[in-house]
Chain A
Amino acid sequence: MGMRLELSPRAFAVWRRNFLVWKKLALPSILGNLADPMIYLFGLGYGLGGLLPQVGGTSYIVFLAAGTVCASTMNAASFEALYSAFSRMHVQKTWEAIMNAPVSLDDVVAGELLWAATKATLSGTAILVVMALLGFVGGPLALWVLPLIFLAGLTFAALGLCVTAVAPSYDFFMYYFTLFVTPMTLLSGVFFPLEQLPAPMQLAAQALPLTHAVALARPLLLGQAPDSMAGHVAMLAGIAAIAFVAAVILARRRLLM
Chain B
Amino acid sequence: MAPLTVADLRKSYGGNEVVAGISFALKRGECYGLLGPNGAGKTTTLRCCLGLAAPDSGAITLVGEPVPVRAREARMRVGVVPQFDNLDPDFSCAENLLVYGRYFGMSDAAIRARIPQLLEFAGLGGKEKTSIRTLSGGMKRRLTLARALVNDPDLLILDEPTTGLDPQARHLIWERLKRLAASGKTILLTTHFMDEAERLCGRLAIMDAGRIMVEGAPRELIKSQIEPQVVEVYGEDAPSWAQAEAGAFAQRCEVSGETAFCYVADAVPLLDHLAARPRLATLHRPANLEDVFLKLTGRDLRD
B76 touches which of A9, A102, A256 (Cβ 8 Å): A102
Q: Return chain A residues, CB-CB under 8 Å to B52.
A: 99-100, 255-256
Which residue numbers of A lie inside 8 Å of B, CB to CB? Answer: 1, 6, 8-10, 13-14, 16-17, 20-21, 24, 92-94, 96-104, 255-257
A257 lies within 8 A of B89 (CB) = no
Which residue numbers of B lie inside 8 Å of A, CB to CB? Answer: 13, 50, 52-54, 68, 72-73, 75-76, 80, 82, 84, 86-91, 95, 99-100, 102-105, 151
Q: Return chain B residues, CB-CB under 8 Å to A255.
A: 52
The smallest beta-carbon distance between A104 and chain B, in angstroms, is 6
With most chain B CB atoms within 10 A of its CB, the pick from A9, A93, A257 is A257
Taking A1-B68, A97-B87 as known contacts, 6 extra A-B pairs with beta carbons closer than 8 A to each other, sorted by chain A number, are A13-B99, A13-B103, A20-B91, A21-B91, A93-B82, A257-B13
Question: Considering only CB atoms, which chain B residue lies closest to A88 in the complex?
Answer: B88
A13 lies within 8 A of B102 (CB) = yes
Q: Would A100 and B82 be within 8 Å (CB), given that A1-B68, A16-B99, A16-B102 are in contact?
A: yes
Q: Return chain A residues, CB-CB under 8 Å to B103.
A: 10, 13-14, 98, 101-103
What is the CA–CA distance of A102 and B105 in the complex, to the nearest angstrom? 9
What is the CA–CA distance of A255 and B51 in the complex, to the nearest angstrom? 12
A93 lies within 8 A of B54 (CB) = no
Q: Return chain B residues, CB-CB under 8 Å to A10.
A: 103, 105
Question: Considering only CB atoms, which chain A residue lies closest to B144 in the complex?
Answer: A97
The smallest beta-carbon distance between A79 and chain B, in angstroms, is 17
What is the CA–CA distance of A13 and B100 in the complex, to the nearest angstrom? 9
Q: Would A17 and B88 be within 8 Å (CB), given that A98-B103, A256-B52, A257-B13 are in contact?
A: yes
A92 lies within 8 A of B72 (CB) = no
B90 touches which of A14, A21, A98, A257 (Cβ 8 Å): A21
Q: Return chain B residues, CB-CB under 8 Å to A100.
A: 50, 52, 75, 80, 82
Q: Would A17 and B54 be within 8 Å (CB), given that A100-B80, A102-B72 are in contact?
A: no
The smallest beta-carbon distance between B288 and chain A, in angstroms, is 33
A/B interface sample: 25 pairs, CB < 8 A: A10-B105, A13-B105, A14-B103, A16-B99, A17-B102, A20-B91, A20-B99, A21-B90, A21-B91, A24-B90, A93-B82, A94-B86, A97-B82, A99-B52, A101-B75, A101-B100, A101-B103, A101-B104, A102-B73, A102-B75, A102-B103, A102-B105, A103-B103, A257-B13, A257-B54
A104 lies within 8 A of B72 (CB) = yes
Q: Return chain B residues, CB-CB under 8 Å to A99.
A: 52
The smallest beta-carbon distance between A8 and chain B, in angstroms, is 8
6 tightest A-B contacts by CB? A101-B103, A100-B80, A93-B86, A13-B102, A97-B86, A102-B75
Q: Return chain A residues, CB-CB under 8 Å to B102.
A: 13, 16-17
A17 touches which of B50, B75, B84, B99 (Cβ 8 Å): B99
Q: Return chain B residues, CB-CB under 8 Å to A93.
A: 82, 84, 86
Question: Considering only CB atoms, which chain B residue lies closest to A255 in the complex?
Answer: B52
What is the CA–CA distance of A8 and B82 in the complex, to the nearest angstrom? 24
What is the CA–CA distance of A256 and B52 in the complex, to the nearest angstrom? 5
A256 lies within 8 A of B72 (CB) = no
Q: Return chain A residues, CB-CB under 8 Å to B68.
A: 1
